């Protein structure tokens, strides 16, 4: 007969081993999920959230863009939140003022990782209409009114960095 | 108690005055015209047919304002190869040999109601929008250039060189055919094409843009009053761009 204390410790070890095994199985998913969508990329965005759920966007942004492209080109329906122009306005990298000029930029970050060629920007401009440098999209008018003007651009930059960091942390938690 | 009633009445009147002030921007300029703008999210409709009337008697030889404005608006700039540079609008000079009388006029896509470029396009890239604007869908264009051969007005160009300085509103790139879009991105925002705006800004007044389907529009009234010409009217393409004085 095994005494209860010993039994408890054996069970504890078993549980620990099981959870370690499970963790090992889950860990690679932080880089790629089951559909192969790359989720470790740092988000560059000005608002709180995207036009759809992030996971949905990772897999279906091309379908949304394709649908909107025909609506705009053929029927002249403009100003939709699903337009490529709207994507660029939010996701532009303030450093390069582009979404596709380097691997640090929003579109190229994933597309170069996934080795999927991106044709959009052979015709479309990868820059927003108003340059991101002069008008930091993260700094909203309310934020600008806080504190004095000299510090507002610096605080805006820091806020952007913090938000990007927070977004990448949130993504990591979401996958786990 | 009577004070409360008075206050609410004053607030009501103040709100009414503010509401009316919003409609009148300046004497004679109101926001009422905005009612004609197509709301965002609504498709272009065949109730409108966009057209242009060009008065060649007011179009000066040597004036290039419309061409410059078009290039600036649409990002069509010289690549250093004039033989193959895309051309959305060009100035041409007509001269009657016998009398020596000459005319100057801009020539571009005539936005035909029966466009030959659309007839010949093998992929469906060349198309006419519901409101009469003839466009190239570059997503589908394979660059075969049949439309360039079919067009009687030499209105279309092939893009031979790569571009990376596009206007975000006007995507364009190597390998596709393109032509005047009547500044469709501006028309959708209830603005005039860039060439017409530049012509008015220069006080030339040779170009008029409007809805050919609306009998009360300035362009329809002028077409109903004066003799206007469609270039190559013998082809019966029913062009959206009309000329006066040629």
What is the CATH classification number for the domain harbouring B147?
3.30.70.20
- Does residue B27 register a pLDDT over 90? no
If contacts are CB pairs under 8 Å, which of residues 125-144 in chain A contact chain B? Answer: 125, 127-129
Q: How does residue A144 score in pLDDT terms, banded at 50, 70 and 90?
A: very low
Tokens in use for A159?
A: 């806020």
Which chain B residue is nearest to residue A75, measuring alpha carbons? B43
Residues in chain B with CB shorter than 8 Å from the CB of A77 are 40-43
Q: How does residue B30 score in pLDDT terms, banded at 50, 70 and 90?
A: very low
Q: Do B101 and B25 share a structural domain?
A: no
Q: What is the pLDDT of residue B65?
A: 96
What's the whole-number mean pLDDT along residues B92-116?
95
**Partners of B136 in beta bridges:** B126
A46-84 confidence digits (pLDDT tens) = 777 889 998 899 999 999 999 999 999 999 999 899 999
Q: Do B199 and B116 share a structural domain?
A: yes
- Provide the CA B29 distance to its chain's centre, in angstroms: 23
Query: A140: Cβ–Cβ under 8 A, 6 or more apart, which residues?
Result: none
Q: Within 13 A of A53's CA, how many CA atoms are on the CB side?
A: 4
Specify if B42 maps to a domain: no
Q: Do B108 and B21 share a structural domain?
A: no
What's the whole-number mean pLDDT along residues B129-154?
97
Other Cβ atoms less than 10 A from the Cβ of A140: the count is: 13
B210-221 confidence digits (pLDDT tens) = 999 999 999 999
Helix A54-70 to helix A84-91 angle, to the nearest 10 degrees?
Answer: 140
Q: What is the CA radius of gyration of chain A?
A: 22
Q: Do B192 and B93 share a structural domain?
A: yes
Strand bridging mode B157-158 / B134-136: unpaired
How far is residue A83's CA from residue B232's CA, in Å, rounded to a whole number? 39
Tokens in use for B118?
A: 């659309």
Backbone angles phi, psi at A108, to 5 degrees: -70, -25
Specify if B127 maps to a domain: yes
Helix (H) or strand (E) holding A6: helix A4-26
- Does residue A142 register a pLDDT over 90? no
Are A129 and B184 in contact (CB < 8 Å)? no
Q: Do B195 and B93 share a structural domain?
A: yes
Q: How does residue B246 score in pLDDT terms, banded at 50, 70 and 90?
A: confident
Length of chain B: 246
Specify if B44 maps to a domain: no
- Does residue A169 register a pLDDT over 60? no
**Partners of B51 in beta bridges:** B210
Are B44 and A129 in contact (CB < 8 Å)? no
Longest Cα separation, chain A = 81
Q: Do B158 and B68 share a structural domain?
A: yes
Backbone angles phi, psi at A83, to 5 degrees: -75, 150
Tokens in use for B84?
A: 């193959």
Range of the domain at B219: 50-244
> Quick one: which of B156, B12, B183, B25 has its CA closest to B87?
B156
Q: Do B78 and B15 share a structural domain?
A: no
Residues in chain B with CB shorter than 8 Å from the CB of A75 are 43-44, 129-130
Specify if B132 maps to a domain: yes
> Quick one: which of B194, B195, B206, B223 has its CA closest to B49?
B223
Our CA-based measurement puts residue A44 at a distance from the nearest CA of chain B, in whole angstroms, of 19
Q: Do B54 and B32 share a structural domain?
A: no
CB contacts < 8 A (A, B): 57
Q: Do B89 and B188 share a structural domain?
A: yes
In terms of C-beta density within 10 A (0-12 exposed, 13-18 middle, 19 or more buried), how is residue B89 classed? buried
Which chain B residue is nearest to residue A127, measuring alpha carbons? B168
Q: Are A127 and A133 in contact (CB under 8 A)?
A: no
Specify if B154 maps to a domain: yes
State how many domains chain B has. 2
Helix (H, G, I), strand (E, B) or coil at B163: coil
Q: What is the pLDDT of residue A47?
A: 73
Specify if B41 maps to a domain: no
- Does residue A45 register a pLDDT over 50? yes
Q: Do B104 and B9 share a structural domain?
A: no
pTM for this model (two decimals)? 0.72
DSSP B64: -
Q: Do B57 and B27 share a structural domain?
A: no
Are B166 and A123 in contact (CB < 8 Å)? yes
Share of chain A above pLDDT 90, in %: 34
Q: How does residue B25 score in pLDDT terms, banded at 50, 70 and 90?
A: very low
Q: What is the pLDDT of residue A46?
A: 72
Q: How far is CA B84 from CA A20, A113, B210, in A?
A: 66, 37, 32
Q: How far is CA B129 from CA A140, B30, B31, B148, B236, in A?
A: 38, 30, 28, 19, 19
Mean pLDDT, chain B, whole residue set: 88
Strand bridging mode B241-244 / B228-229: antiparallel
Query: A68: Cβ–Cβ under 8 A, 6 or more apart, which residues?
Result: A80, A82, A83, A84
Q: Do B129 and B25 share a structural domain?
A: no
In this complex, is the C-beta atom of A79 within 8 Å of any C-beta atom belonging to chain B?
Answer: yes
Which ranges in chain A belong to alpha helices (H)?
4-26, 54-70, 84-91, 106-113, 120-123, 141-145, 149-175
Residues in chain B with CB shorter than 8 Å from the CB of A69 are 139
Q: Are A49 and A32 in contact (CB under 8 A)?
A: no
């Amino acid at each position: 007969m095994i005494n209860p204390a010993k039994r408890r410790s054996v069970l504890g070890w078993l549980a620990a081993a099981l959870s370690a095994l499970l963790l090992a199985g889950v860990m690679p998913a932080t880089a790629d999920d089951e559909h192969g969508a790359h989720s470790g990329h740092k988000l560059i965005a000005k608002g709180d959230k995207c036009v759809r759920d992030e996971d949905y966007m990772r897999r279906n942004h091309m379908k949304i863009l394709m649908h909107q492209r025909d609506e705009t080109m053929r029927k002249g329906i403009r100003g939709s939140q699903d337009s490529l122009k709207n994507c660029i306005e939010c996701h532009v990298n303030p450093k390069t003022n582009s979404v596709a000029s380097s691997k640090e930029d929003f579109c190229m970050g994933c597309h170069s990782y996934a080795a999927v060629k991106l044709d959009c920007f052979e015709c479309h401009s990868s820059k927003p209409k108003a340059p991101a440098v002069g008008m930091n999209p993260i700094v909203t008018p309310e934020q600008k009114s806080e504190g004095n003007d000299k510090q507002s651009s610096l605080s805006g930059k820091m806020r952007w960095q913090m938000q990007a960091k927070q977004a990448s942390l949130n993504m990591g938690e979401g996958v786990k | 108690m009577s004070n409360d009633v008075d206050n609410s009445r004053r607030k009501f009147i103040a709100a009414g005055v503010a509401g009316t002030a919003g409609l009148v921007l300046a004497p004679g300029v109101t926001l009422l015209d905005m009612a004609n703008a197509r709301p965002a999210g609504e498709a272009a409709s065949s109730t409108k047919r966009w057209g242009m009337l060009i008065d060649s008697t007011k179009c000066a030889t040597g004036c290039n304002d419309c061409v410059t404005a078009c290039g600036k608006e649409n990002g069509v700039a010289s690549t250093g190869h004039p033989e193959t540079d895309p051309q959305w609008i060009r100035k041409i000079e007509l001269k009657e040999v016998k009398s020596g009388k000459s005319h100057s006029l801009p020539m571009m896509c005539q936005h035909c109601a029966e466009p030959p470029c659309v007839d010949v396009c093998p992929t469906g890239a060349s198309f006419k929008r519901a409101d009469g604007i003839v466009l190239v869908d570059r997503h589908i264009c394979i660059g075969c250039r049949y439309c360039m051969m079919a067009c009687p007005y030499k209105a279309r160009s092939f893009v031979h060189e790569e571009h990376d300085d596009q206007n975000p509103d006007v995507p364009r790139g190597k390998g596709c055919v393109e032509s005047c879009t009547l500044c469709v991105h501006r028309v959708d925002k209830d603005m005039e094409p860039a060439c017409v705006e530049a012509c008015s800004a220069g006080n030339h007044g040779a170009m008029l843009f409007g809805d050919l389907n609306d009998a009360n529009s300035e362009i329809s009234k002028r077409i109903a009053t004066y003799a206007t010409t469609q270039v190559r009217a013998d082809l019966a393409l029913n062009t959206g761009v009309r000329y006066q004085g040629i």
